Structure 1
Amino acid sequence: MIEQSESPPDLVKQQNIDRILASAERLFRQYGYTKTNVADIARDLGMSAGNIYRFFPTKAAIHQALAERILDVLYRNAWNIFHSDLSVCDRLRRYAQMNYQYTLDMMISENKVYEMVVVAMEQHWTVVKTHMDRVSLLMQSVIREGIDAGDFPEQDEAIAARCLSASLAQISHPVLVAQCYVENHEPSVSQLIEFGLNSLKYGSSCRAS
């Protein structure tokens, strides 16, 4: 049942939201997003569907909140890499490798989570774009660090970050990874990463117009 407590209303509300999301994630992982409905979540929590709707107007809203949580984990991983003691190129390289491995592992070991991410990209693009913009800011900072250290020539770090992300989309976008990299594919992951890094070392296409 929904928890009743003398705790502050906002705290109780958040506790109930957390319980709903935990149940939804468990069921989505077990049965898949498309095969789980609000009634299933309510039954799992021992409450009515009406109680769920007090906190989330639709199943899609629950899914959006879960997508934000998944992407937040990816953002924290990216933040840790970009703030590590590795060289600039190694940080960018490690980030690209992490992103690819996360997507690949999700496809192979947690295909129900993979389904959730694909649905998020189709139905909740604003959430995905917000995540991409946050990561882009991290990437811009690292590229600027490389420019200031002489690793890269002077260039617009915002344009460079967007270009690098676009060039690596084939090893980070779930649908593209599924189509191209579940088997050996050329160019390889490492070749694509090195191509992107080499483009930063020239930088002529990333100068502000």
Structure 2
Amino acid sequence: MKIKNRQSPIVATNDMRRRRMARSIAERRDGPEQPMMTAHTIEETRADTRTRILDTADRLFRHYGYSKTTMADIARELEMSPANVYRFFSSKSELVQAICDRMLTDRDRRNAAILAEPGTATERLKRLLVQNHHMTVEALIVETKVHEIVLVAMEEQWSIIQAHISRFTDTIEALVHEGIAAGEFKADDPRKAARCVHQSYVSMIHPQVVASCMQNAERVPPEDLADFILRAIKA
């Protein structure tokens, strides 16, 4: 009778140990096996890194100021190399432009919320104007370092600023249209009326003008100026 060769339990155990040890050495050398990165995953990772850089830069700018914060400071806070930060933003100016874009997008969102609220066109237009004044004051007083960022944005005349102004005027125009339809406003050209409303109220929302007039005892309350403008388009 032919007897089959069988591996002894000791030899089998040693083989298992050797295989486990080989895997352990490979993991220490190469790291644990990683899931395959798809194009979607890579894009998500880049977006997450970009957001982390923006969040960190925003926090440092608000704490130390724009001029006193360098790209190296931002990289150090993130525990990454400055070169990696520059992979996402070619300059500090580009970085602060992205931060301003986020700030203005948030303001656009809050303006759109007023447009969707209940109430007459008159009530909502006044609310829109006064709220934008308060948002500007909040940025200048509560977040004093933000003023420096805003000044940079205004001096550079970035397209994002002009795009925001256009969207703000669009929101005013939508309310003027509603007011005309409801018999609240009289205006032959709603777009022209919207521009007039915006430019008449600009002293209450332009950061540099608001900052220079904060201590002026003759300053008109934002609500009073809004009422004055509204009476003009009701005539």
TM over 0.5: yes
Can you give the 5+ residue segments of structure 1 that lack an aligned partner in the other structure?
203-209
CA contact (8 A) 2:201 2:226 kept: yes
Cα distance in 2, alignment partners of residues 115 and 196 from structure 1? 30
Cα distance in 1, alignment partners of residues 198 and 170 from structure 2? 11
Residues 93, 66 of structure 1: CA spacing in aligned structure 2 closer, same or farther, 3 A cutoff?
A: same
Partner of 1:174: 207
Task: Please tell me the root mean square deviation across aligned C-alpha atoms, in Å.
Answer: 1.6
1:92 counterpart = 2:125: yes
Partner of 2:158: 125
CA contact (8 A) 1:170 1:176 kept: yes
Partner of 1:206: none
**Equivalent residue for 1:24, pick from 45, 57, 67:** 57
1:80 counterpart = 2:110: no
Task: Give the aligned length.
Answer: 199
Which TM-score applies when normalising by structure 2? 0.80
More displaced 10-residue stretch of structure 1: 182-191 or 87-96: 182-191
1:71 counterpart = 2:104: yes
CA contact (8 A) 2:65 2:148 kept: yes
Can you give the 5+ residue segments of structure 2 that lack an aligned partner in the other structure?
1-33
Decide which structure has the larger Cα Rg and report it: 2
CA contact (8 A) 1:106 1:113 kept: yes
**Equivalent residue for 1:187, pick from 206, 210, 220:** 220
CA contact (8 A) 2:187 2:193 kept: no
One-letter amino acid matched to 2:179: G
CA contact (8 A) 2:187 2:233 kept: no
**Equivalent residue for 1:53, pick from 73, 86, 90:** 86
Query: Secondary structure in 2 aligned to 1:54?
Result: helix
1:14 counterpart = 2:53: no
Deviation at 1:183, TM superposition (A): 4.3
One-letter amino acid matched to 1:179: S
Partner of 1:62: 95
Q: What are the Cα deviations for residues 90-124 of structure 1, in whole angstroms up to 9, with x where unaligned?
A: 11111111111111122111101122122111114
Residues 181, 89 of structure 1: CA spacing in aligned structure 2 closer, same or farther, 3 A cutoff?
A: farther
More displaced 10-residue stretch of structure 1: 184-193 or 172-181: 184-193
Taking only the aligned residue pairs, the percentage that are identical comes to: 37
CA contact (8 A) 1:171 1:181 kept: no
Cα distance in 2, alignment partners of residues 124 and 33 from structure 1? 17
Which TM-score applies when normalising by structure 1? 0.90
